[in-house]
Structure 1
Amino acid sequence: MAKICIVLHDLRGGGAEKMMVRLANQMIEDGDQVDMILITEGGSNKPYLSKEVNLIELRCERTLNAFGPLRSALKRCQPDGILAALTHINVITAITCASLGWLKKLSVSERNAFSLDKKVNSDKVMKATYFLAPYIYRLLPNPVIAVSKGVAQDLIDTTVVRAKDVVTAPNPVITKETELAARQPPKHPWLVDKSMPTVIAVGRLSYQKGFDMLLDAFADVQKNIPSRLIIFGEGELREELEQQINKLGLNDNVSLPGYSDNIIAEMKAADLYVLSSRFEGSPNAIVEAMSVGTQVVAFDCPHGAREILQDGRIAPLVQANCAKNLTHPISQQLNYISAIETSSSLTASVERFKSKNSSSIYRDFLLRSV
């Protein structure tokens, strides 16, 4: 049994936070002792964290203020291995571990396309963090853990990070809990009583997720195929997306219900999942949809979708950042939806994203110096 500590900003409804909860839960199931330190507190993923994980909430207003509290928390935990997730948390955790002489215990992880993610963070402190991070990564004894080959290559191509400074590990997307959750009925009324084909998308209502492009594409689909679109998620662009829905005349056919407490059940009941993101790290929702046999259409955005869909052999992969490119494949899938059966190739292709496999790989990276 090992003592492992995971450091995060909070447990908000993002993919990184969800994956760290699933990783912690799997490590507990595998017999390890896990502490999770949150720089702030709470978040919508908190209820899904195992009660056996020791949750420490520092309640710092900003990451900049976290050095002292984080240092004290780590000293109390005395971990064998430490995992930090997301760039700004990676930096503060590296500085803190350096002050303790614990850099050999630390592994940091990048969850997104670094070169693109830094462009959407305009805060001066965050800009400085993104400038500093690659130099810290190059100096760390343990390599950065990237969630996909694309994320790893982006770090190498656009920063001072070298190939030897990065490794990859799959996200722990599929768990016993998700497999049980998939057996539950959906809750959205359009999926409970499905009177027409229904498309689903999932993610934060933000620029990155490209839902503005998805709405434009869906408006074109609607001209020929009566159907519905549900976008699960919440975020800063809700009002803009609602205005776009109204302008496109889609109020009766598009729903923005917020977050779901069982998204995989909603996915299973849907006819098609669409990824419209401008960039990703490793889009977990594609894996979740495929794990329950739901058909997928995805932008070939940087990064992750191409790897998951095996260069488009598993499902349609289209040129990114153009709404019109989504229209035809969505229409094509919906036209033949009655003839499509649950594909064993979809479920088989995501076996590597099972939490047991992911946890084993992360554990090897975290404890290599022990």
Structure 2
Amino acid sequence: MSFNHKKTTKSSIVFLLPSLGGGGSERVFLNLCKQIDKSKFNVILCLLAKKGEFVSFLENETGFEVHDLGVSRVRYAILPIVKYVRKTKPDILFSTLGHLNALLGAISFIFPSKVKLVARESNMISKVNHHGITILFYKLFYKNFDRIVVQSSDMETDLKRIVQNLGPNQIVKINNPVDFNTVFELKESCEQLLPTGKINLISVGSLTHQKGYDMLLDSFSKFRNKDNYHLTILGDGELKNKLKAHAIKLDLSANISFKGFQDNPYQFMAQADLFISSSRFEGFPNVVLETLMCDTPVVANNYKGGINEIIETSIYGEIIDITDSIEFEKVCENLTSIELPPKTLSNMVKERFGIEKITIEFENLFSLLLTE
């Protein structure tokens, strides 16, 4: 008796990133690379340059391959990307960050026809300070992607307004995931990281115009009882020196600490009383999910980009106009007077946005693409 054994091969997915800078998109891609079912998919993380704050996270990582193209800027990446894709012929090429997506859409005709192209938008296109040529690339070439993943309904509306020639099923909304186990492992600390005897406010993000720290400082400086509070900001960026100088000008030196980028922000989040998300806009603020995983409620500015899909009830916190200092202080007072049972917030967030749930949504998307 003889048997015919049909040889099966796993589908390959290349996750393409400019680098491993310390942003939300990079963290999402790292989490997905780790979590995706390796019995179904062969996962490769391809970096234009293997650099950035999250490179250390690759140490001892054996679940997926990492490839470094060794390119300093996206504009120089066309030939290395094309050569790599033609050589490896992945089933799916999955990229994120707008300028990289715009480039891939423009050169998509060069890739082998069997390669499915998926772009993950990371922000509100209309709000990001893109060059005119980038917006033109969106309008002309985004139709070339097989799927475009957005994280929120606001992002979907924004994308459709700018790119008007997309197919009815071309955009897929998948919320960002949060890695429950990693946050829980890292959030415990034996050290007191925040001031004692204060109501501790914390914010985490790049020190850029988007994150609205100038508005936060202005509003916080007007608190009637600001000496009862201490604000800690984690992150680095182009406005670091300007924001520090502004804090001094507002006489906030005793009320605020700039701690720079932290490999482990969760220890700070877990010790804080409230997290402040002061952004002018977002795509889908992963850092809000992460702080809720630390059971710290959130006060968020009323910005476009998914915050209303996270803070859907007052249990999670409040959405306000962050520039209204009277309302801001009142909300802080109210939220810090509420005591929730342990793990209330983290359990709710895990159920809605846990990495296992969101990864399955991505796996289903990839499997569907491979049948088309």
Q: Normalising by structure 1, report the TM-score.
A: 0.88
* Contiguous gaps of at least 5 residues in structure 2: 1-9
Alignment length, in residue pairs?
358
SS at match of 2:289: helix
Distance 1:108 1:170 in 2: 14
Distance 2:105 2:191 in 1: 43
Aligned residue among 9, 16, 22 for 1:13: 22
| CA 278–311 in structure 1, closer or farther in 2 if over 3 Å, else same | farther
Checking the alignment, whether the CA contact within 8 Å between 2:183 and 2:294 is kept in structure 1 is no
Distance 2:313 2:151 in 1: 17
Q: Does the alignment pair 1:216 with 2:218?
A: yes
Q: Does the alignment pair 1:270 with 2:311?
A: no
Distance 2:165 2:320 in 1: 30
CA deviation string 1:73-118 (max 9, x = no partner): 223333221111011111223344421233751111111111111x
1:128 aligned partner: 133
Q: Cα offset for 1:367?
A: 3.4
Q: Does the alignment pair 1:151 with 2:160?
A: no
Aligned residue identity for 1:354: G
1:314-333 mapped onto 2 (5 Å cutoff)? 314-319=316-321, 325-333=327-335
Could you say which structure has the higher helix fraction?
Answer: 1
1:41-56 mapped onto 2 (5 Å cutoff)? 41-49=50-58, 50-56=61-67
Q: Cα offset for 1:272?
A: 0.4
2:100 aligned partner: 89
CA deviation string 1:114-144 (max 9, x = no partner): 1111xx23xxxx431222123322243x221
Distance 1:28 1:13 in 2: 25
Higher-Rg member (1/2): 2
Q: Cα offset for 1:179?
A: 2.5
Moved more, 219-228 or 286-295: 219-228
SS at match of 1:257: strand
2:76 aligned partner: 65
CA deviation string 1:307-359 (max 9, x = no partner): 1111656421113665555333123334x26x455461563145232111221
Aligned residue among 225, 228, 232 for 1:226: 228
Aligned residue identity for 2:177: P
Checking the alignment, whether the CA contact within 8 Å between 1:290 and 1:350 is kept in structure 2 is no
Checking the alignment, whether the CA contact within 8 Å between 2:93 and 2:115 is kept in structure 1 is no
Distance 2:161 2:41 in 1: 36
Aligned residue identity for 1:111: S
Q: Normalising by structure 2, report the TM-score.
A: 0.88
Q: Cα offset for 1:270?
A: 0.8
Distance 1:317 1:254 in 2: 22
Aligned residue identity for 1:169: I
Aligned residue among 47, 50, 58 for 1:38: 47
Checking the alignment, whether the CA contact within 8 Å between 1:199 and 1:273 is kept in structure 2 is yes
Distance 1:346 1:297 in 2: 16
Q: Cα offset for 1:222?
A: 5.8
Moved more, 126-135 or 299-308: 126-135
Provide the identity percentage.
25
Q: Does the alignment pair 1:25 with 2:30?
A: no
* Contiguous gaps of at least 5 residues in structure 1: none
RMSD of aligned alpha carbons:
2.4
